[in-house]
Amino acid sequence: MPLEIKQNEPLSKHTTFAIGGPAKHFVAVKTKEEVLEAIEFAKNKELPFFLIGGGSNLLVRDKGYEGLIIKMQIGGLKTEGEKITIGAGILLSQAMNESANKGLSGLEWAVGIPGTVGGAVNGNAGAYGRAIAESVEEIVVLAEDNGQWKEKKYSNKECCFEYRKSKFKNLANREIILSVGLNLQKSDVEKVRGEIRNTALQRKGKVPHQPSAGCVFKNIKKDGQLIAAIGKLVDGCGLKGTRSGNAEIPLLHGNYVVNMGGAKADDVISLINLCKQKVKEKFSFELEEEIVIV
């Protein structure tokens, strides 16, 4: 069956921010073969392409994307002992629940975090001092080699994980994550479920319910130690509650920008720039975005 490639697809429908102009071309892919077909389409049309997963951690500009957006929906989830192999398009929450059902510990921190496993590896997603990099054993990607796209495996070390970053979190990166192998720890099902409930309770009332992309900025760390929490810095600048158009820095958390309804990407960018300016003026810290702006 040929791929269904849509034209002028609103990307606001495919991001957790519910913001973003149209993609000139858009396709959802569920297999490696469909990924290759999508790449060939982009090549024949001389178009750039960009991959998305669950659309979290992403702000698409109001003008949209003048190329092909490839939405990764590759499934598959297999458990062998303490290893779980997951298709890049599987939701992180689904992977967490499946590992819990098997009595495997290591993803309890992921409760409430949107997005796919591929996206989580791309940005080394984490919470409460944990990150997915701790569990990654290997990943399988599609990589271009002399004009040919071939499967390639990377070990944990070869992914070059850093705080909220990997070698793949780069707008110029053309390697496509297909699947992820996680090494977890054998535990008791009820114990793992209890940890998930505890984490959910910790998050309750701390995360805005309005559409957002998650935390906007990386917290400031040195040698792996937290130096400054961005939410507190933004609060220290008196910016919580500030609005630009229909985007707002919520009172609940200073490291978020939320869509109050019909917000534009330019509204969000205006608030991002304001936070950068004020925090630098008052605290002399340079803020770095955690979200990707396309």
The CATH number of residue 272's host domain is 3.90.78.10
The set of long-range contacts for 37-46, using a CB threshold of 8 Å and a minimum separation of 24, is: 37/2, 37/3, 38/3, 38/5, 38/68, 38/70, 39/70, 39/149, 41/3, 41/5, 41/68, 42/67, 42/68
Residue with tokens 């997963």: 53
119 and 166 part of one domain: yes
In tens, the pLDDT along 113-135 reads 888 999 999 999 988 888 999 99
b/e code 128-160 from CB counts within 10 Å (16+ = b): eebbbbbbbebbbbbbeeeeebeeeebebeebe
Q: Indicate whether 208 belongs to any domain.
A: no
pLDDT at 178 over 80: yes
83 and 46 part of one domain: no
State the average pLDDT over residues 57-79.
Answer: 96
Q: What pLDDT is recorded for position 11?
A: 98
What's the pLDDT band for 68 if we cut at 50, 70, 90?
A: very high
Q: What pLDDT is recorded for position 129?
A: 83
Q: What pLDDT is recorded for position 34?
A: 96
110 and 169 part of one domain: yes
User: Which of 54, 72, 90 is the last residue before a domain boundary?
Assistant: 72
In tens, the pLDDT along 256-266 reads 999 999 999 99
Q: What pLDDT is recorded for position 243?
A: 97
116 and 173 part of one domain: yes
The CATH number of residue 82's host domain is 3.30.465.10
Q: Indicate whether 160 belongs to any domain.
A: yes
Considering its fold, how many domains does the chain have in total? 3
100 and 143 part of one domain: yes
User: Which of 203, 234, 249 is the last residue before a domain boundary?
Assistant: 203
101 and 187 part of one domain: yes
Q: Indicate whether 266 belongs to any domain.
A: yes
Quickly count: other Cβ atoms within 10 Å of residue 163's Cβ.
15
What's the pLDDT band for 226 if we cut at 50, 70, 90?
A: confident
State the average pLDDT over residues 50-61.
Answer: 94
191 and 278 part of one domain: no
103 and 198 part of one domain: yes
Q: Indicate whether 210 belongs to any domain.
A: no
User: Which of 48, 72, 96 is the last residue before a domain boundary?
Assistant: 72
State the average pLDDT over residues 130-149.
Answer: 93
The boundaries of the domain holding residue 166 are 77-203
Q: What pLDDT is recorded for position 24?
A: 97
Answer with the residue of higher pLDDT: 59 or 144. Answer: 59
Contacts of 147 (CB under 8 A, 6+ apart): none
Q: What pLDDT is recorded for position 2?
A: 77
62 and 160 part of one domain: no
Q: Indicate whether 63 belongs to any domain.
A: yes
In tens, the pLDDT along 9-47 reads 999 999 999 999 999 999 999 999 999 999 999 999 999
82 and 191 part of one domain: yes
b/e code 11-42 from CB counts within 10 Å (16+ = b): bbebbbbbbbbbbbbbbbbeebebbeebbebb
In tens, the pLDDT along 71-85 reads 999 999 999 999 999
59 and 164 part of one domain: no
pLDDT at 286 over 70: yes
Q: What pLDDT is recorded for position 264?
A: 98
Q: Indicate whether 280 belongs to any domain.
A: yes
pLDDT at 147 over 90: no
Q: Indicate whether 277 belongs to any domain.
A: yes
pLDDT at 89 over 90: yes
pLDDT at 1 over 70: no
Mean pLDDT of the chain: 93
Q: What pLDDT is recorded for position 255?
A: 96
Q: What pLDDT is recorded for position 223?
A: 76
261 and 243 part of one domain: yes
Q: Indicate whether 45 belongs to any domain.
A: yes
